[in-house]
Structures are given as structure tokens and as C-alpha cells.
Chain A
């Protein structure tokens, strides 16, 4: 089995390790880096629970082979917290009851984070479109959409593309 040496940053910290060439980023994060905040719901790119930010873009880490992240920047939900303070999205998820079982939550919040950076004042439809790749079986999505809009705060919503 070919092993490769890779180095990348994980939530701002440099990581260097040897991994089998076929190992997914999800696998490396969970099993080699102890980043179990990244969840596996399907392992085939459908559910979005394994979402991380790769150079700021949300990706399904189960579809990314680890060697591809060499030299790049990976952020998990843990990377959004600063000390004890919650990110406004996390605050909003708590306040709106947007996390029930919580298994979809890490991926959902990261996807929402990327959306709000692109589009600080999205419409409801924008939010629904943005999270369409993140499944949630518990909430029916309404409270998640509410939370994301609340975190965005008041502002002129512009129509989505």
C-alpha cells in the first residue's frame, strides 16, 4: 500500500502525517487526527454530515482523498469557536432549537457559515438552496433555516441566483 507524507493546517494548526494514498480526508480527520467532530452519515457524498471547509469552501470530506489536502487549509466546526464564545450561527442554532439529535449540526453550521460569507443577507430560498446537500432527519429544516437567517441578522435580502 502506497503511503504518502502530507502536511496541512487543521483549524489553524499544522499537521504532518503519513497516510495511505486512498484514505479519505474524513477518515484521516476522524481516525488519524482525532477530529471526531466531523461525522460520517453515508460515506458517499450524499448527506453532508462530513462537511468541512477546504480553503474556505464547504466540501464533503468523505469524497476528498487525503493527499489532495496537502498544503491546504482545513476547518471543522471546532475551528469556528474562539475560546468560550460561540459563533453567532452556533448561538442561533441553540436559541432556535435547530439541533435535535445534533448529528447533522456540524456539517450544517459549516455550510451555513460559507453561505453567509458569500451572501451575508440571504433570502429563505437562498438558505434552503445552500443547505440542500446537508440532510437532517430530525427537524424538518424549518428551525435550521430560522436559525441561519437569525444569525445573518437584519439586512437587505437579495434574491438568490
Chain B
């Protein structure tokens, strides 16, 4: 690892240390109890009947045979659900679409809109009986015409997926005079790119157990990124919000796929109805078939530049496929729109973005959330521009990079340092000497891609997080925060921050996370926000607590207040005299000084923005760059990534080992996206519902990714940190495409970059590419 150290404003003892996480030991001993590992006495097993058709009317739905099977405790259909819809509200939409209130139907009510849509629920004594009951439900479908491509969905006369029409959302940005700027540009690059639908494919499928506890509170322990779905469950059941509790155990991977509800509502319905504990575990096939995926996009970029490589205009048209229900599509599209011009100054820009309903699987949040798909567009364009003008790839980017104080085309001013070019130089240099091709038919090439990714939620959501920090009577520290830990070290980073401020070893900090009834609410583990938001909340709580403790300690030590320090579990006077934290706690108790504090952090907030007029959309952004060296077999089209250097400015690395893990894991996911993965859907039928057909990269498909951490010290998180969860997934696909052109001279514009696509581009295959489903 290479690490750029910047002088710290305060000497740090624990923050910045690559220490193992507190959850690691349990994980290597396999003691961590994931959602599906939980059992309750008398537990029932839940199962879901799913639609076999992508578009059909339900003519008849008869559950009597299923309900009569011995061992079946409940069979539920739409009729049994008190409120069968969840809503997504999206303010700030353009007038044509109108303020969006989009519907997600929980159990199909008369119509099914995608293959795999839930139609009925079963709870039974064993999983086998539950499965048999699902098969015993009589459904008669009348297939309806469907629409399977977003462009076709927006054409006149297309079958309507929802009565309101197929245009789900539209955003636009305009600044300057694009028309004129493109006319006057010395060079215009006009290319259309396509990126595919992919799946999160975390190793832990969706699962949970629900029960009604002794106080009549419906408790759901489920694999989720969002414990605040307790509100959704309460709405669906028509019970007060304070009667539902969601607990997230350590999650076996999320990546956005456990941001929307998965099993929670179904578990709630079944446990509430049967008054017995219920477990539901989705099979891998179910997960791949029916859970929301990453949006495919068509991206048309017209990029104008002056002869010296300065960008003068971007005209961008985006079209995304929302699948059959809205989920978070309108917001994903917003992220895409705002970041579509990349980390560059673009004086004249126009972005027209639309997302349409189809009868494909729904699409929603996935690591990178719309912003990552744009990297293929803006970084392929940058590379083509460099090639056209004979400029070095780093140089062309350096001439256009954003700087602190610049405005994005949407009008938001960048308030922190932009180290994107430093990242590009480090990544590019990190590739080292070029390797020689192995054989005469191999070609080796290099590619670079930079990116911009927001961290923290959209400002009009008025995001906040709270966390409780307390010191026990023996001097040990407790943190309580409603933070689901999805494997990124979310919880242990908070321990490290509390440990830093309160001067105790990290092992002396215990943390309780992700229980909506017992831990202060911290919001979602999504949007690269937990270190930023909950990190700041823990920091605020720990600092307030420290101030109080130090005051009491100063009196005990008869030392000048302000000169006493907390370290090694004690308060220490300037002359080295010390009093143990436990002693200080006794004194606090005697004096009635509180030994805990609830910290709250409010992110910068703002009003919904009319993008066309512009304004602030996100709290801040993370910047980075990846460089890859690839080898292309010009006889087969096979591409191997030989080297991969990934550099991001994380502001400050709270735990460099976790930061490296995020960068390497994100880069790997980005390479899988670039080279292998695709959810193949034909006429609404998902053909990749097993890990045998949906290809997740193995250890043999990937190179060692070398992480390079930059620490500008200039982020909005604790100690100047920026978020790093999502950013590393963005650059790899574009970097590989750029490297392939460097190696072979052919430009690949469609993902994934399979050997077949490369072979076609190289002219090795004669038949035209098959049309996309």
C-alpha cells in the first residue's frame, strides 16, 4: 500500500491505525449469527409464490388447497394485506413528470408486471411444507403484452406497465449555450454507450426471522441495510410505528441490494397473522430472479473540445430501465444526471435523462447508484479526445479537472479539495514498467479512468444521524448507534473514533448497533454515508463527554482545566500525574455529572432543487482514479487485467486496512461489471437465475488490486474523512475499455466486455451482433 500522509491537525493515537476490526474474530471462528442462522422456539417457515409471467392478468387465485395442507399456518394474498403499497416520494421533479409518488405493490393485486413478482405468502411448520403449499396455490394467468426495452416503452402505443404511463422520471440540466459551443468546438466526439443490468450477488441471500415479543411489539431480525424500514412494515400492517422493531445482525453483504425492503414486510405480515415466529430465507435463485438490480443505461455523449483539449461542451442523453416498479429509480437517475459530466469543468452542458417502466425485473440501488454507470460515458469520451488530439491521458484530464471552488454543471460549488489529478498521476505511475506481450497475437495496453461520486444523501432529505456514547463505572466505553454493519467495518470505525477521543484502547470500546428500538437512529447504511454521518455523530458525542469528564478530572488532579488529557484509560495532568477513568466516573456519579451523551449530526440541508435552474444537491463528493494494464488475445478476444492500481482521496483514512478493503473490493466489483457480469433478460424472462449463469468473478478472474490512499484531510466526515464505500466501483470498466483501445485500437462501447464483443470489434466474427433483449 502507498499512503500519502498529510500533517494532522491534532496528533492521533488510534484513528489512522490499520487495526483489525472487533468483528473479525467472530467471523473467522464462524460465530457471527447472520439472519438465517437465527432460530426461535416454535418457528414457522415462510415462502413466496412468485409470478411465472412478466406481464399478465391474474384471472383466478385460489389458496384453499394450499391452506388445507397439514402443517400450513397461513396463506396470504393481496387481499390479506392491510395496506398493500409502499410509496416513493421524489420532490423536485420537472413539471412534465410532476412530483413523483410512485407505488410499490407488495403482493400482486390482479396484475403481475414482472417475472418473479410476489403473488402470495405461506407460513408452514417446515420449509418443505411451505414449498409444497406454494406449489398448491392455484393461479390462472392471462398473459398480457409486455414491453421490455425502455426506448420501446416510451414509444407511442407501447403497452402501459402502469396506468400513469411508462415515463417514470426525467431530470435535466442546462448551463451555458451547448448548441453554439458544439458548433464552435475544434473536435466533437459523439458516441453512444450501453451498460447492462447486474446483480449485487452478495454471498448471503436475503433472510430474516420475525416474532411478536412479550410486549406485543413485532420484532424483525433481518439482513438489511435499513432498520428504519420498521416504519414501512408498520404502515403495511396499519399499526403504530412504535409497535415494530427491526434489528440488523451483521449483514453478509449489501451493496445496495438490501436497501429496499426484501423479506421484512413479508415476515411482518406472516408473524403478525400467525402470532408465531417465522423465518424466511430466499434461495439464490429467488434472489437473482426477483430482487431489484442495477439500472442498465443507454448513454449518448456529444463532447466538444478545443484543440488544446479543453472541454467546451457536453450534450448528454441518458435512458435507463426502471423495470416494473419505481423503487429508487428516480433518485438513481438524479445521481446519474448530476455526475454525468464527470470530475471536469464543463462551461456548456446539457443533460437530458429519462428512466422508463418496463416489464423487466425492477432496478434500484446498487453501489455507485447511477453515478457509477456514467463513468463509462465520460471517461471513454476523455480517452477518445486524448487520442484524437494526441494528448497524454493524464494531461487531458488535468486540463479540465474540477478544483475546489468550481461549480458542477448543476450549479453546486465544490467546497473541498479535489485531488482527482493527483490520484490519476499516482495510479498511472503505479503501473510501473510496461510488460511485453506474451505472444505475437497478444497486445498489451493501458487505460485510465477518474470518477466523482457523492457521499451522503441528497441535501433535501435533511439527513441526520444520532449516536450515544457513555463511559461505564469501570472506565470502559459503550457506543450505541443504529448502524447496520454490512461488512465494510461500519461499526468498528465508530469504535476507533470513540477510542481516539476518549483515550481508551479500541478493545475497551463495546458497540451495540442496528436495533431500531434500542440504538439511537442513525439512518441507512447506504449512499456512502455511515462513516460520514454516524462518524460525525459519535465524534460529537465523544467530544462532549470528554469535555465534561475533563472538567471533573481537572478538579481531582488539581490541574488547570484545559491542560488535562485523556489517554491510556486515565486522565493525565501536564506533570504526568494521573487518575484512572474509573475514579473519574465515581466522581462524576458523586457530583451528578452525566456519564453519557447523545450526539446528533445534521448534514448540510437544502430545498429540493429544480435541476434546470441549479443548486446544491449533495453534501460533498469523493474523487479517485484507476489505472489498468490489460492483455488482449487478438485471436480470441479474451481480455486479462494484468495490473490494477486504484487511488482515491479519502480525506482521512480512519482505518487504512478497511479503506484498502473497500477500494480492492469495489475495484473487483467494478471489474466484474466491466468484463463478466450481466443479468440476461429475454422478453422479461430472466435467464441468469443461478450463480452458474450469473458470473461473479472468482479469484482466477481478477488481478491483485493495488490500493493507493490519498489523504487530503479535506472531507466533511470525522477528522476530515470522505466516504469510500461506493466510489471504487466506478472507474474499472471504463479503464479497461480505454486500455483495450490502447492495446488494439478498437473502442468497445458496450458492457460487459466479453471476448465475443472484443472479437467482433476486432473483426474476428462475421455475423452482426445479436440485438439486445
Contacts and interface: CB of A to CB of B under 8 A. Distances in A.
Contacts of B252: 39, 101-103
Contact of B20 (A94, A109, A131, A135): A94
Interface in A47-102: 47, 49, 76-78, 81, 86, 90, 93-95, 97, 99-102
Given A100-B661, A101-B202, A142-B705, A137 B696 contact: yes
B727 interface: no
Nearest to B694: A46
B284 A41 contact: yes
Nearest to A140: B668
Contact of B24 (A36, A81, A93, A144): A93
B36 interface: yes
A28 interface: no
Nearest to B668: A140
Contacts of B255: 137
A30 B36 CA distance: 10
Interface in B645-690: 657-658, 660-661, 664-669, 690
A93 B698 contact: no
A139 B21 contact: no
Contacts of A124: 704
Interface stretch (B322-330, B455-463, B482-490): B482-490
A86 B699 CA distance: 25
B34 A94 contact: no
A78 B30 contact: yes
Nearest to A34: B39
A33 interface: no
A64 to B, nearest CB: 18
Q: Is the interface of A mostly helix, strand, loop or mixed?
A: loop
B30 A76 contact: yes
A42 B29 contact: no
Given A141-B699, A142-B704, A78 B657 contact: no
Contacts of A40: 36, 205, 281
Contact of A43 (B18, B21, B284): B284
Interface in B699-746: 699-700, 702, 704-705
Given A102-B252, A103-B252, A142-B704, A93 B28 contact: yes
B283 interface: yes
Contacts of A93: 24, 27-28
A129 interface: yes
B555 interface: no
Contact of A104 (B203, B657, B666): B203
A152 interface: no
A16 interface: no
B107 interface: no
A120 interface: no
A131 B699 contact: yes
A111 to B, nearest CB: 10
B703 to A, nearest CB: 9
A101 B204 contact: yes
A17 interface: no
Q: Is the interface of B mostly helix, strand, loop or mixed?
A: loop
Interface in B255-311: 255, 281, 283-284
A78 B201 CA distance: 26
Contacts of B658: 97
Interface in A110-132: 124, 127-129, 131-132
B253 interface: yes
Contacts of A47: 203, 284, 691, 696
Interface string B184-206: 00000000000000001111110
A101 B691 contact: no
Choose among A101, A127, A140 the residue with the greatest number of B CB atoms under 10 Å from its CB: A140
A135 B696 contact: yes
A100 B251 CA distance: 10
A39 B34 contact: yes
B420 to A, nearest CB: 22
A139 B661 contact: yes
A38 to B, nearest CB: 8
A60 to B, nearest CB: 12
Contacts, number: 159
Nearest to A77: B30
B253 A145 contact: no
A39 B37 CA distance: 9
A105 B30 contact: yes
B193 to A, nearest CB: 25
Contact of B691 (A44, A78, A90, A100): A44
A4 interface: no
A140 B669 CA distance: 7
B486 A101 contact: yes
Contact of A142 (B20, B253, B284, B664): B664
Choose among B23, B203, B658, B690 the residue with the greatest number of A CB atoms under 10 Å from its CB: B203
B203 A101 contact: yes
Contacts of B40: none
B764 interface: no
Contact of A41 (B26, B203, B699): B203
A142 B707 CA distance: 10
B33 interface: yes
A81 B29 contact: yes
Given A97-B657, A103-B202, A37 B31 contact: yes
B240 interface: no
B664 A90 contact: no
Contact of A37 (B20, B30, B203, B665): B30
A100 B668 CA distance: 14
A25 interface: no
Nearest to A105: B27
B29 A77 contact: yes
Contact of A141 (B36, B284, B702): B702
B692 A46 contact: yes
A78 to B, nearest CB: 6
Contacts of B660: 97, 143
B250 interface: yes
B25 interface: yes
Given A46-B691, A47-B203, A140 B665 contact: yes
B295 to A, nearest CB: 19
A5 interface: no
B413 interface: no
Contacts of B201: 137
B690 A42 contact: yes
B352 interface: no
Contacts of A44: 284, 690-692
A129 B700 CA distance: 6
A100 B487 contact: yes
A81 B31 CA distance: 11
B583 interface: no
Interface in B625-662: 657-658, 660-661
A103 B207 CA distance: 13
Contacts of A86: 25, 28-29
B27 A99 contact: yes
Given A137-B201, A142-B704, 17 more contacts: A37-B30, A41-B203, A41-B204, A42-B690, A47-B691, A47-B696, A78-B30, A94-B24, A99-B24, A102-B32, A103-B252, A132-B698, A135-B203, A137-B665, A138-B665, A139-B665, A143-B661
13 contacts: A42-B284, A77-B28, A93-B24, A93-B28, A97-B24, A100-B661, A101-B251, A103-B252, A129-B699, A132-B698, A132-B700, A133-B698, A142-B664
The 7 closest A-B pairs by CB, nearest first: A101-B487, A140-B668, A102-B27, A103-B252, A37-B30, A140-B664, A46-B691
Interface of B: 18, 20-21, 23-34, 36-37, 200-205, 250-253, 255, 281, 283-284, 486-489, 657-658, 660-661, 664-669, 690-692, 696, 698-700, 702, 704-705
